[in-house]
């Protein structure tokens, strides 16, 4: 049996591509997918050839949320014994990043480990993203959407609440007023509206969507320092829990450390010599 059930993991150049793979169910989230996503991310982190991670969905959807079969099994008395909770506990990896400030104390729960991963993670939202699928996308460092993509928080229409940290993540992206609208109404909204609100970084035409996302990921993978990206990712996610002076102090300290790295020397050398950069992440 493949170690990636309900998911495909492949490496394209320097990009690790993770594809949620239940296209007949709009990639509805399963316990097997929960385990597989951690395994695939661990493989991408451990592979020095991979510098950027892209997560997308097979077929016409990104992720329609938790599989309804799993939701129907939930009972208040066995909350911690539900299949998804067990899957979260069973697959454990140490994703802590030794570059930049430590973000581990700030991001726990089911998907907080994505913020610990030193490599940038891009959610390529190719189609519908609902409920848990939308929440998961918010844990990516950046989000791009296809022009046909649709979104909904869905929770209020299921008798649920703002789950898995979305009550913190969403306001930090789009503000409290937009967050309350999207959560309370559970209405569907388009990729264009998501871009206007700041929920996604950019919308690409559906016909060229994955090519455009992979082109952007390749630029990151091939033209900038992996070490710089790792430190800056940690700086940004840490700064949400810092005052300005503390963030400034961390930045000054990290800048001094960078002066002694091979990537800094290469960054200056390739500019002066007018050639393509050859960053090593060291």
Query: Domain-by-domain residue ranges, the chain?
Result: 7-221, 225-272
pLDDT for residue 164 is more than 80: yes
β-pair partners for 202:
144
Which of 159, 104, 165 is closest to 134 using CA atoms? 165
Does residue 83 carry a pLDDT above 80? no
pLDDT of residue 70: 55
pLDDT given at position 212:
98
pLDDT at residue 89 above 70?
A: no
199 Cβ contact list (under 8 Å, min separation 6)? 143, 151, 170, 173, 174
pLDDT for 67 equals 83
What percent of the chain clears pLDDT 70, i.e. is strictly above it? 91
More confident: 73 or 238 = 238
Among the four given CATH numbers 3.30.70, 1.10.12, 1.25.10, 1.10.287, the one describing domain 225-272: 1.10.12
Confidence of residue 205 (pLDDT cuts 50, 70, 90): very high
What rounded mean pLDDT belongs to the chain? Answer: 92
Best CA proximity match to 144, nearest among 111, 116, 177, 121: 121
pTM metric for this prediction: 0.93
H or E element in which residue 244 lies: helix 244-258
Q: Which CATH class is domain 7-221?
A: alpha beta
Residue 134 has pLDDT above 90, yes or no: yes
- Candidates 39, 31, 29, 28; CA nearest to 4 is 39
Q: What percent of the chain has pLDDT over 90?
A: 87
Give me the sign of the Cα torsion angle 244, 165, 31, 156. negative
Does pLDDT of 271 surpass 90? yes
From CA 274, how far away is CA 52, in angstroms rounded? Answer: 25
Classify 87 as helix, strand or coil: helix
Instruction: Give the number of other CB atoms < 10 A from CB of residue 8.
Output: 15
Chain mean position to CA 2: 23
pLDDT of residue 41: 97
């Amino acid at each position: 049996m493949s170690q990636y059930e309900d998911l495909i993991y492949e490496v394209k150049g320097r990009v690790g591509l993770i594809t949620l793979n239940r296209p007949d169910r709009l990639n509805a989230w399963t316990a097997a997918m929960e385990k597989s996503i951690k395994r695939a991310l661990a493989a991408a982190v451990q592979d020095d050839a991979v510098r950027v991670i892209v997560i997308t969905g097979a077929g016409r959807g990104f992720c329609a949320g938790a599989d309804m079969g799993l939701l129907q099994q939930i009972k208040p008395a066995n909350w911690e014994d539900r299949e998804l909770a067990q899957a979260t506990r069973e697959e454990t990896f140490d994703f802590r990043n030794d570059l930049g400030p430590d973000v581990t104390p700030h991001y726990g729960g089911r998907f907080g480990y994505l913020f610990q991963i030193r490599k940038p993670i891009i959610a390529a939202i190719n189609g519908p993203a609902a409920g848990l699928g939308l929440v998961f996308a918010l844990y990516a460092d950046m989000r791009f959407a296809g022009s046909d993509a649709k979104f909904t928080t869905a929770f209020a229409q299921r008798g649920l609440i703002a789950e898995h940290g979305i009550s913190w993540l969403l306001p930090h992206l789009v503000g409290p007023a937009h967050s309350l609208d999207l959560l309370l109404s559970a209405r569907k909204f388009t990729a264009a509206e998501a871009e206007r609100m700041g929920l996604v970084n950019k919308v690409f035409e559906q016909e060229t969507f994955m090519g455009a996302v992979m082109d952007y990921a390749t630029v990151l993978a091939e033209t900038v320092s992996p070490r710089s990206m790792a430190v800056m990712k940690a700086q940004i996610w840490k700064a949400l829990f810092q005052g300005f002076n503390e963030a400034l102090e961390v930045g000054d300290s990290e800048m001094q450390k960078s002066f002694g790295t091979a990537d800094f020397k290469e960054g200056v050398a390739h500019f002066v010599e007018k050639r393509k950069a050859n960053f090593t992440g060291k």
